[in-house]
Amino acid sequence: MSEKMRAAVFEGNGVLEIKEVDKPVITKPDDVIVEVETCSICGTDVHIMSVPPGYIAAPGTILGHELVGKVVEVGDRVTSLKVGDRVVTNPNDYCGVCKYCQKNLPNLCEHIIPMGIEADGGFAEYVRVSEKVAHKISDDLPAEIAAFAEPLACLINGVNKIPVKPADSVLVMGAGVIGLLFTQIMKACGASPIIVSEPAPMRREFAKKCGADFVIDPFTENLEEFVLDKTGIGVDYAIDVVGSQMWTGIKAVRKGGKVLLFGFDGKAKLSFEQYHITNREISILGTWLANASFPQAVKILESGMLNLEPLITHKLPLEKTAEGIEILGKGEGIEVLIYPNL
């Protein structure tokens, strides 16, 4: 008889149930079984649980993908990890042989398998991952800090596309955990001013603590006028963390500026005249998942250069996963952590 474990299973149409399910087992020689220490809730989980969903996940899937844990079993051909190693995981397992993988773009793999969406994820006591997507971390790094690895790795992939220099101006649209990480990284790059747009009062306060020079509520103030007043010509870079703010970013950047699209909202639809991009030479850049950026993320986390502990607003047991997703969706939390054994 299979061993059992507890897990938060997505049943479709906004329903998440805590169930006893089979514990994952080794099925391929490069498989690794990880005992989950903690797994943080992502905005993607919020979109999956929305009705209608802003991101589609397969019913019957265990949600969660921003995890840290300890290796408890390895397949016969695993060479880089051993039982007892602590790891963070890239939740997007890539094939390694398709045309995009051959172009060193595994984040765009034609056969990618996303954890917590199509494959069972980290809101569980154990999870199975491939060796190639598991990255070792220091035994001394607290689990709640290590849990930032996946969002930070995705962020670094985006930052690598915008060469921010000291005194460059930046607008960050959205102050959830990703927006706040962007704010801290932009501060470390020497950007000034950093303007953060966020409607939720609590998150605006966090943005100030993370180094934003100016914080604005776009629901009560005119963001375009505010940016023009603070910069004279518009920001050098605008970063859409929300997934629906491209037009706002286009209007906020200066001529020759760049708009980085990070957030994903499958329900967002935009309509505007293309000449606003053409005759101002605006660059629109998409960034998707992590691409060879986990080692950088781990190094940053282990260095302690970011102030992450204050961003942790909730630590919840597995049984309160749905409640945590609701908290994040309402803008009442920043980093919401789920502990399978709390």
Q: pLDDT, tens digit, for every residue of 147-195?
A: 999 999 999 999 999 999 999 999 999 999 999 999 999 999 999 999 9
Please report the pLDDT score of residue 161 as a whole number.
97
Amino acid at 93: D
Query: If you average pLDDT over residues 277-292, what whole number do you get?
Result: 97
* Residue 1: per-residue pLDDT: 53
pLDDT digits (tens, 9 = 90+) for 287-333: 999 999 999 999 999 999 999 999 999 999 999 999 999 999 998 99
Helix/strand/coil percentages in the chain, nearest 5:
30, 30, 45
Token output for 201: 């009062």
User: Strands 15-22 and 4-12: what pairing?
Assistant: antiparallel
pLDDT for position 54: 85
pLDDT for res 266? 77
Q: How far apart are CA 42 and CA 154, in angstroms?
A: 12
Q: What is the pTM of this model?
A: 0.95
**Dihedral over alpha carbons 152, 118, 58, 66 (to 10 degrees):** -30
The mean predicted confidence, pLDDT, of the chain is 96
Q: Specify whether the CB–CB gap between 29 and 90 falls below 8 A.
A: no
Q: How many CB atoms lie within 10 A of CB 58?
A: 13
Q: How far apart are CA 46 and CA 53, in angstroms?
A: 9
CATH classification code of 162-286 = 3.40.50.720
- Residue 188: enclosing H or E segment and its boundaries? helix 177-188
Q: What confidence tier does 267 reach under pLDDT thresholds 50, 70, 90?
A: confident
DSSP helix/strand/coil, 256: strand
DSSP assignment letter at 246: H
The candidate with the shortest Cα–Cα distance to 30, out of 120, 108, 97, 95, is 95
HSE toward the beta carbon, residue 77, CA cutoff 13 A: 8
Closest of 8, 28, 4, 266 to residue 120, by C-alpha? 8
Q: Check residue 157 and give its pLDDT.
A: 98
**pLDDT tens per residue across span 27-64:** 999 999 999 999 999 999 999 999 999 889 999 999 99
Mean pLDDT, residues 15-27 taken together: 97
What residue segments make up the domains of the chain, in order of their start?
4-153+290-339, 162-286
Q: Which residues are catalytic?
A: 44, 47
Look up the CATH superfamily of 4-153+290-339.
Medium-chain alcohol dehydrogenases, catalytic domain (3.90.180.10)
pLDDT band at residue 268 under the 50/70/90 scheme? confident
Residues 200-243: tens digit of each pLDDT: 999 999 999 999 999 999 999 999 999 999 999 999 999 999 99
Whole-number Å distance between alpha carbons of 282 and 195: 19
